[in-house]
Each structure stands twice: as structure tokens, then as C-alpha cells.
Structure 1
Amino acid sequence: MTRPGLVITCEHGGNHIPGAYRHLFQGQEAVLQSHRGFDPGALEMAETLAEAFGAVLVSSTVSRLLVDLNRSTHNPTLHADAVRRLPAEQRQEILTHFYQPYRAQVEQAIRQTIADCGAVVHLSSHSFTPELNGRLRKADVGLLYDPRRPGEVALCQRWKAALLAAAPNLTVRRNYPYAGKGDGLTAWLRRCLGPDVYVGIELEINHKHVEAGHDWPTLRRQVAESLREALSLPTDPAQPAPPTP
């Protein structure tokens, strides 16, 4: 890849339920405020990265309980139970109004960046709950990628090393707490775009760093600075970047 452009996305940036569907979630305020409703901190991280690099940002604050923008339409977790019980016509309306426009906007941004720069690095910003089903997640930061794509492997190796150098107290793991090649937006884009023009990485941050008592602004800065080092980009994002292997 040579001089790739950067696109940032955030699929689970908020827990908004549009008015027409609020009755489906009455009494579920606690669920909407939990990790099941959105990814706490993911949008802030995405905004930090987009500002640091002058990158395109595509984001959504519609709750993943209404429709999960990071899942394919055949995935059983695409909708919450209350939505899955709706007639097919109403579920299609949700896809038409929220899912399809978001996917189209992301794809357009990716393809335009490839046209402008020759290649793109796409970062999808997420976060994960410290404990799931009674099991403690043993990581602060996860970098998810497809191990069959050498460009993604190399970038995550460099990013992990740079982040640990900047913050040795962090536990940074690759393809954790999820597999990077699983169903998601990056996997969908990989099917459309070759490894010579598209590198797709999901960034996962442990929720505990978003909560009080943790230096969340510092972590966001460290993630951005380590990414710059991993990409071997100059300090000024307006300057051209050298070729990336």
C-alpha cells in the first residue's frame, strides 16, 4: 500500500431510539444505557482520531438494539427481540431508513478515499464491557483484523508495539476480545475490496477506561499518537505520507 488515506467509522456511537420505535423499548432504559445499547466511548475515540489525522468520519448514534450497523442482514443479532417480532415490512423500513444509508455512506467514503489516495486504512471504533457472562476480559485495547491479510497483520503489529511503548501499563491484544474476521463492517468491505487497496481494522477499548477514575483523554491521545507512528505518518497530517508496506 502506498500513501493510504484514512477513514474512521463508528457504528455503535449512541443509544438513540427514533420516536416511531420508542414504544418497543419502554421500560428498557437500563438496557439502552448498557453495552447492549451502544459502545460507551467509541464515538469520542473516533472523533479524537478523525481530528488528529484530519480524516473522514462516518458515525451513527442510533442504538444497535434497533439495528446493528456492524452486522450483516442475515445475522440473528441484527435486531433486538422486540424488533425481530415486527412484521417483515416494518423491519425492512428500518433497514431502508437507517442501515442501508449508513452502509452506503461508509462505502462511498472508502471508495472516494481509494480514488484520491490509491488505498485506504479504515478504522472502525468500538468498545467492550470489562466482563461478559461472568468472564473477565483481560485486555485494555484490542486490535481486530483478518490474519489472512498481511497488510492488516503488519499494521496491527506495529500499532501494538507503538502503543505499548507509549503506555507499557496497558494490555494490548490482537484479535481480542473478538475475531477480526468475524461478521462485521470490515469483513463486508473486504469482500468488496482487495488487500492492495483496503486495510480494515476494528479498534476495541475496554469500557473501564471511559469511566470515572481513568484518564480517558490521555488514552485517546496515546492511541492516536501510536497509530501515527504505526502508519509512519508525518506530524502534520497535511503532509504526504511515505509508502506503507
Structure 2
Amino acid sequence: MRLPEILPGTADLLLIADHASADVPPGIDLGVPPALMADHVAVDIGTDALTRRLARALSAPAIIATVSRLVVDLNRDPADLGAVPASSDGHMIPGNWNLPDAERALRVAAIHVPYHDAIAAEIAARRPALIISIHSFTPRLATRPDEQRPWPVGILYNQDDRAARCGLVALAARGLHVGDNQPYSGRDLNYTMDRHAEAQHIPYLGIEVRNDGLQSREGIARWTHILADCIATVRRGL
């Protein structure tokens, strides 16, 4: 079993980082070059450090994933074939090809289930006023090299846009070009927030930071300041 890391906090917030780790548990061979595990297909670059800094800045509890999404994607329904990807942004993942149902079920039971159980337990123990999901995205997909992703930050949401609308305004007030359900829509991929926030009518912010802004200590510090201020503004407005 692989449990997420849980950081304690006293604020009525909950930070969640679904894709913060590039780790592959012993016994799993993805069959990819080691360098690929530092790529955006394996990990949301910068989100581990950013989530930890935000947790300290906000005195907020945080739940941080400890397994690469190439092993099992914690932000997807485990019944979705893409939850154990055979390819990602043009990269083949041979260790996931023709994966036996028993192996797939084992990954779900050992990694996906404990992760979401931990989130559910934290919410049940102390219902947060606001949940914040931290992700990052690549400036350009290898499979879509001509597609521009000009937003340094985006806010994702599905049906419940209470916090999202406030967050969009707060970030735009800083002069930032903010993606409104960009670089992709929370109406298409929002599993963790759909399950733990929307289903329980808890406001949430789905935050996507472009990862070229998170590849230095200075960048992490800058985005910690920006997002801590944004989150505090949204919390006051609820």
C-alpha cells in the first residue's frame, strides 16, 4: 500500500496535489527511460514544492500524492482506461501495455483507493471551507507543438464555479493572463474535485500553474506569494 503524505494545518482550507510525485513503487517497471520521469507526463513539475510552501504560508493541511501518474492517475476515475496510461503526450509506456486486470486492480487498491480514502477522512474529520487543487501544465505539448498555451496560470472548475469566479478576478487583478477553464476544461477532467468537493458542495479552486514558472526557487516563491494571496481573497469572499 502506498499512502499519500499528509501535512497538518489549522486553517479551514485543504490543499491537494494529485500529481506531485514521480516515484514508481518497487516491483513496477514502466519500461520508460529514466529521464522521462522528470517530464510533465510523469509528474506535475514544481507542485510538490509549491504545495508545501503554500501549506506553510496558509497554515493549511495538505494531502500530497507520492506516486507518479504513469503508475495510476489519481485524478481519474479508476474505471477509466486512461487511469493507467499506455501512452502520454506521444510517449509510449510499455509497462502499462496489455496490463493484466489483476495488476491494474492491485495498483488501484494499493494506491488510488488509499489516496482518496485519506482525502475523504480529512474532510470528514474537519470539513474545509475551501479545497484547493494544485496542478501544473507544460507550456507546449509535444503532440501539439503549434498549440499556444499563453496563460501563466489557469483556474479549472466543473459545475460549481463559486470559488473559481472569485479566483479568476483575484488573479486578473494582478495583471495576469488567466486561463478560464484553460489549458483544459474542468468539465472534462476534474475527478478529485468532483468527488470530494462538488459532491459535498464544498467550494474549490482548481489551480494550474504553467510549469516554466516553477522550475526555480524564485519561481516557487513568486507563485506561493501570488496564490496564497489569491486563496485568502477567495476564502474571505465565500
TM-score range relative to shorter protein = 0.7 to 0.9
Specify the alignment match of 1:39 in structure 2. Answer: 44
* Alpha-carbon shift at residue 219 of structure 1 (Å): 2.1
Which runs of at least 4 in structure 1 moved beyond 4 Å after TM superposition?
none
Kept after mapping to 1: 8 A contact 2:49/2:220? no
- Per-residue CA deviations over 1:169-203 (Å, capped at 9, x if unaligned) read x211221112123332111225631x2xx113211
Specify the alignment match of 1:164 in structure 2. Answer: 172
SS at match of 1:136: coil
Specify the alignment match of 1:19 in structure 2. Answer: 26
SS at match of 1:85: coil
One-letter amino acid of the structure 2 residue matched with residue 102 of structure 1:
Y
- Per-residue CA deviations over 1:31-73 (Å, capped at 9, x if unaligned) read 2211100000112221122112211111113110000001001
Specify the alignment match of 1:50 in structure 2. Answer: 55
Specify the alignment match of 2:103 in structure 1. Answer: 90
- Aligned equivalent of 1:138, options 150, 167, 177: 150
Kept after mapping to 1: 8 A contact 2:139/2:210? yes
Per mean C-alpha deviation after superposition, the further-off stretch among 31-40 and 175-184 is 175-184
Unaligned runs of 5+ in 2: 1-10, 87-94
Kept after mapping to 2: 8 A contact 1:48/1:224? no
Kept after mapping to 2: 8 A contact 1:6/1:120? yes
Specify the alignment match of 2:90 in structure 1. Answer: none
> Partners in 2 of 1:40 and 1:202 — Cα distance?
16
Task: Check 1:230–1:24 CA distance in 2 against 1; reply closer, same or farther (3 A cut).
Answer: closer
1:168-179 mapped onto 2 (5 Å cutoff): 168=175, 170-179=176-185
- Per-residue CA deviations over 1:103-158 (Å, capped at 9, x if unaligned) read 100111122222xxxx5311111000001211121201111112x32xx33x2232
Specify the alignment match of 1:121 in structure 2. Answer: 130
Specify the alignment match of 2:89 in structure 1. Answer: none
Q: Please say which structure displays the higher CA radius of gyration.
A: 1
One-letter amino acid of the structure 2 residue matched with residue 176 of structure 1:
Q
Specify the alignment match of 2:228 in structure 1. Answer: 224
One-letter amino acid of the structure 2 residue matched with residue 29 of structure 1:
P
Kept after mapping to 1: 8 A contact 2:136/2:208? yes
> Partners in 2 of 1:38 and 1:103 — Cα distance?
18
Kept after mapping to 2: 8 A contact 1:10/1:126? yes
Task: Check 1:201–1:182 CA distance in 2 against 1; reply closer, same or farther (3 A cut).
Answer: farther
What percentage of residue pairs aligned between the two structures are identical? 24
- Aligned equivalent of 2:195, options 188, 194, 197: 188
